[in-house]
Amino acid sequence: MNIHQVTVSDALSSVFSSPQGLASTTATARIAEYGPNRVEPLPREHWLLCLLREFTSLFSIILWLAAGLAFLADWYDPEQGMARVGVAVIAVIILSGLFSFWQEARVERTLAALQGMLPRQVTALRDGVAQTLPAEQLVPGDVILLGQGDNVPADCRLIEAFGVRVNRATVTGESHPQSCDAAPSSSESHLDSRNIVLAGTSLVAGRGRAVVFATGAHTEFGKIAKLTQFGSEADSPLRREIAHLSRFIAFLALTIGAVFFAIGSVIGVSFWRDTILSLGIIIALVPEGLLPTLTLSLVLAAQRLARRNVLIRHLPSVETLGSVTVICTDKTGTLTENRMRAQRVLLDLRPIEVETLAKDPELINRHQLFLRVASYCQDLTETIRDGQRAFNGDPLDTALVEMSERLGAQPASPVRCDEWPFDSDRMRQSVIYPDDAGHMLYCKGALEAVLPLCVSVILAGEVRPLDESTRATILCAQEEMAGQGLRVIALAARRLPPGCPREAQEQALTFCGLVGVDDPPRAGVDAAIAACHTAGIKVIMVTGDLPSTALAIARQIGLTRSKNVSVIVGTQLRKLSAAQLQLALDAPEIIFARVAADQKLRIVESLKTKGHIVAVTGDGVNDAPALRAAHIGIGMGISGTDVAKEAADMVLLDDNFVSIVAAIEEGRALFQNIRKFLTYVFVHNVAELMPSLAFALFGVPLALTPVQALAVDMGTDSLTALALGAERGDSQGMRRPPRSHQEHLMNAVLGVRAYLFLGLIEAAAALAAFFYVLHGGGWQYGTDLPGSDPLYRQATTACLAAIVLLQIANVFLCRSAVRSIFTTGLGGNPLMLWGILLQVVLILFIAYTPWGNAMFGTAPLPIEVWLFLLPWAVGMIALEELRKYYVRYQLARKHANAGLPD
């Protein structure tokens, strides 16, 4: 038999111990065998290797290659200034790598938080004497002393208990403190046994002795730590998309670069000139500013969410939220306030709201015994928080005491003669207090446990016999309260006759009334759930609470709306195969109750297997493995443990489910915004590429040097691209289902628009400006121009100016792929206006200052060149407006044919 199923003496014998604890010599031998009582971290790769890995991704390798070629070209021809290009590219690699590196320390921080939850000191019996020991020195067989407020340092079997109540929420997820005793248990699992106290839990009441049977990694707490270590951490959708985009860009850049290197070799271009050409193509096609712009866009989104009580710990989580298809959420403290309050009572067989009762002093006077039961039958301790009186203990007890004091009851006497603690079998608690006439017994508990013990009832201030009709009325009232999601508590009392034997004390009780207690849903959580449904997001409650409690709250907040709700408890979940669980998850409305840590993790993994993007909310140690395994873990800032916060990708500062909806809306907007600035960036990539192609194919001078191209990538376009990443979300964004996980950032529509439409227009304008200046200066086709020639410098400046000017127009075009510029407008985004100002200042600096001319190989432009460029900008806007009009026309026809509103 297991240790929780045997007597105290057999439990001690099973670990070769005694009521006096272990001998010091035995304890020393056992610690050598079992190891210290702590969670051991797994061997981890050196931080330097982790850092180096961040600089060897595919995208980074391409940039390293570009930087190396730049330095090589600068060695061959220093006048080209290619060293500056190499330095700038390396800076991009370093910044992007450092951004990713800090995320690798999450497991270590999680383990540190786990270890911090365990008590550092413990009182144990060694050689029959109580000694204060470091918790790490505990071994199986140690007998420890526990008191109210103590944290439990190891998994223990109680051998002596007096009014022990344990808060197990951080390990099992149970929201209510559990009564414990030392009697053998018939439970199959030790997790459900009243005589087991687990590491990481705490005593909220009582005192006792317990024998340790598991330490360190062998405790339930340690197993959770192992789950946290080994739990698979999914790549965010954004990381996968960036990887996919990197492969596409790498293939495109290297292929085109290699092709034109070969063409140059065939047509007789010198090796170093051919190398510079290929490097220019690679630099033109690789958006060096993409990762920094993406990072800054995520940072701005995180700052906006922080103002809405959402703290983003891992930046890619912002976009991941927009992809979420399923949210697995805890109940207590997330969907509810985690603050119980008495809402309704049954007095004189009449239900009445507590608010109404407070205004009826006559009714209150007739039921003082009812109030004394509520006030006396509890195990709370008082404390002062922020200068105000508060209670520590069971939230249910707190709710009853607060109700009784509000209605004028006197605080309970400090002298308690005797008690029967609450437990799941008795389903009631009784206490005995002295008064002037003898002793009074006060009893509270579940109605089915209290009502059979009652023989009388208080009606209109008098004690009357309790007949079957009255019992039926009371039961009907209970059903009505329970149907409203209230937890119903029955209150009863009796005056004990002198010499009443203990076994007869809880008999012949007088029924005083019922109290309906609720843990109210958070304000707005019903609207948040409705918004999730509208947005195509499935919300699943996963809790350690009872099924009835979970279902009642789910109905109250609109989480479940049908009668056919699938409710699966932990014992059933253990019996389901992987395939059966995946089929069960297809239910439109499903609730998981009484689940353990490994089961939460299993639910998340099953949802991921089904192709869902999963978000998980949680606050306890038991939630950490699932938080880490999910695509996005959402921790609780107020009630959450350090473990949960460290395992999470984002933290709700107000513990409010409502804040998740705001975060999802931001995430959906971010995905569209990334597409906007990708379009914007790819357009100038084409304009930078065409000069290199013209140079290779037609033997004309290179219209844009690599360092000038980099000035666009890392300078003039940086802030405007960032502004597109910070655009406001579409008002209809939460009325559409989540995007498919097969939908890529880079799709055919975006590619055609950026590369083959807007990009070609901008490239044509850039080359036209280049040749306009050359021909104005008398250049003839076939004439070679050195890089230091003033005419060549002025012509390349014109090409650069054309790109910058058309990008100013393009930033407004990229605000929407469908809506007209006259609809999106020119305002509403101050960052965009600052970005345009930066573009103007930089191009003026590059073209008209000696420093800019020297740094970028440019020369001042006459006003005629700017006048030449203006029609190109206007023409680009006009052509894009025609394209958008055609797209809107086609969408309107499609909706009309489908019978949909526009």
Which residues are designated catalytic? 330
C-alpha triplet 707, 84, 273: angle, nearest 5°:
60
Nearest alpha-carbon partner for 764 in 792, 794, 797, 803: 803
For residues 183 and 426, the answer to whether their CB atoms sit within 8 Å is no
For residues 540 and 565, the answer to whether their CB atoms sit within 8 Å is no
- CA pair distance 122, 30, nearest whole angstrom: 17
Q: What is the DSSP string of 584-595?
A: HTTSSSEEEES-
For residues 400 and 354, the answer to whether their CB atoms sit within 8 Å is no
**What are 489's strand-pairing partners?**
515
For residues 362 and 407, the answer to whether their CB atoms sit within 8 Å is no
Exposure on the CB side of residue 702, measured as CA atoms within 13 A: 24
Query: How does DSSP classify residue 620?
Result: S
Number of Cβ within a 10 Å radius of residue 747: 10
Question: Cα 447 to chain center, whole Å?
Answer: 40
- CA pair distance 230, 79, nearest whole angstrom: 55
Dihedral pair phi/psi, residue 162, rounded to 5°: -130, 100
Question: Cα 297 to chain center, whole Å?
Answer: 19
**What are 542's strand-pairing partners?**
592
Question: Cα 852 to chain center, whole Å?
Answer: 46
Q: Residue 140 region, left (φ>0) first, then alpha (ψ -120 to 50), else beta? A: beta
For residues 321 and 504, the answer to whether their CB atoms sit within 8 Å is no
- E strands of 215-277, at which residues? none
Q: Which two tokens stand for residue 332?
A: 């207590």
Q: What is the DSSP string of 334-396?
A: TTB-S--EEEEEEETTEEEEHHHHTT-HHHHHHTHHHHHHHHHS---EEEEETTEEEEES-HH
- CA pair distance 533, 522, nearest whole angstrom: 18
Question: Cα 653 to chain center, whole Å?
Answer: 11
Residue 75 contacts by C-beta under 8 Å, 6 or more apart in sequence?
Answer: none
Report the length, in residues, of the chain: 902
For residues 816 and 673, the answer to whether their CB atoms sit within 8 Å is no
**Helical pair 658-698 and 718-725, crossing angle rounded to 10 deg:** 140
Nearest alpha-carbon partner for 540 in 486, 603, 582, 597: 603
Question: Cα 430 to chain center, whole Å?
Answer: 43
- CA pair distance 685, 673, nearest whole angstrom: 18
For residues 165 and 145, the answer to whether their CB atoms sit within 8 Å is no
Q: Are strands 590-593 and 566-569 parallel, antiparallel or unpaired?
A: parallel
- CA pair distance 138, 36, nearest whole angstrom: 7
Residue 664 contacts by C-beta under 8 Å, 6 or more apart in sequence?
Answer: 321, 322, 324, 532, 535, 537, 734
For residues 506 and 449, the answer to whether their CB atoms sit within 8 Å is no
Number of Cβ within a 10 Å radius of residue 458: 23
Q: Which two tokens stand for residue 519?
A: 């843990």
**DSSP H helices in 630-785:** 642-647, 658-698, 706-711, 718-725, 748-751, 759-776
